[in-house]
Amino acid sequence: MTFLAENTISGKEGRLFLDGEEMANVKKMEATIEKEKTEKKIMGRRWISNKTIGLKGTGTMTLYKATSKFIKAILEYAKTGKDVYFTAQSVLDDKGAERGTERVTLYRINFDSTIIAQLDVDSEGLEEELPFTFEGADLPEELLLTF
């Protein structure tokens, strides 16, 4: 099958849900799983081999400032010592691409930092970037079509 330009998936056609609530103010979200590896030298081989021994999930959300939700979460930890974890679902569904829908669920999202106060006289709209870690992911059987 030939790849057609209209099959390119637009990131604008995505949605993000955090604990079941749609985050209408999300501008950008990216999550990455990185393998942790250990090197193994094997007698008689010049190449160093690698063995995967773990995974680490990291990401970033960029949001238009519209809520104090994340300030509240970090202050909850500051006051009580109880950390707050979230579950997120990213839904990518570009009807124009006709490739299907992709839903990725991220478990135990924990935000690393948040801006607690921000003013900007030149801003047309405040944004906040929230780096995070996560501890698990799932991709249901509904996948984007292959060629």
In the prediction, which pLDDT does 142 show?
63
Q: List Cα–Cα distances, 17 to 5, 21, 65, 103, 108, in angstroms.
A: 28, 5, 16, 11, 14
Overall number of domains in the chain: 1
Q: Residue 48: which residues within 8 A CB-CB, separation 6 or more?
A: 39, 40, 41
- Whether residue 3 is contained in a domain is answered as no
Q: What does the pLDDT read at residue 140?
A: 83
How many percent of the chain have pLDDT more than 90? 74
Q: What is the SS3 string spanning 107-131?
A: EEEEECCCCCCCCCCCCCCCEEEEE
93: in domain: yes
- Per-residue confidence (pLDDT) for residue 102, from 0 to 100: 81
- Provide the residue range defining the domain that includes 123: 13-138
Q: What is the pLDDT of residues 51-102, one digit of tens each?
A: 999 999 999 999 999 999 999 999 999 999 999 999 999 988 877 767 778 8
Q: Is 36 a domain residue?
A: yes
CB 87 within 8 A of CB 105: yes
Note the pTM of the prediction, 2 decimals.
0.85
CATH assignment at residue 47? 2.30.110.20
144 domain-assigned: no
Question: Does any domain span residue 39?
Answer: yes
**pLDDT above 70: percentage of residues in the chain:** 93
Residue 128 domain-assigned (yes or no): yes
Q: What pLDDT shows up at residue 70? A: 93
Helix (H) or strand (E) holding 14: strand 14-18
Residue 147 within a domain? no
Q: Residue 116 above 90 pLDDT?
A: yes
Is residue 8 assigned to a domain?
A: no
Find out whether 84 and 76 touch, Cβ atoms under 8 Å. yes
Quick count: other Cβ atoms within 10 Å of Cβ 129? 13
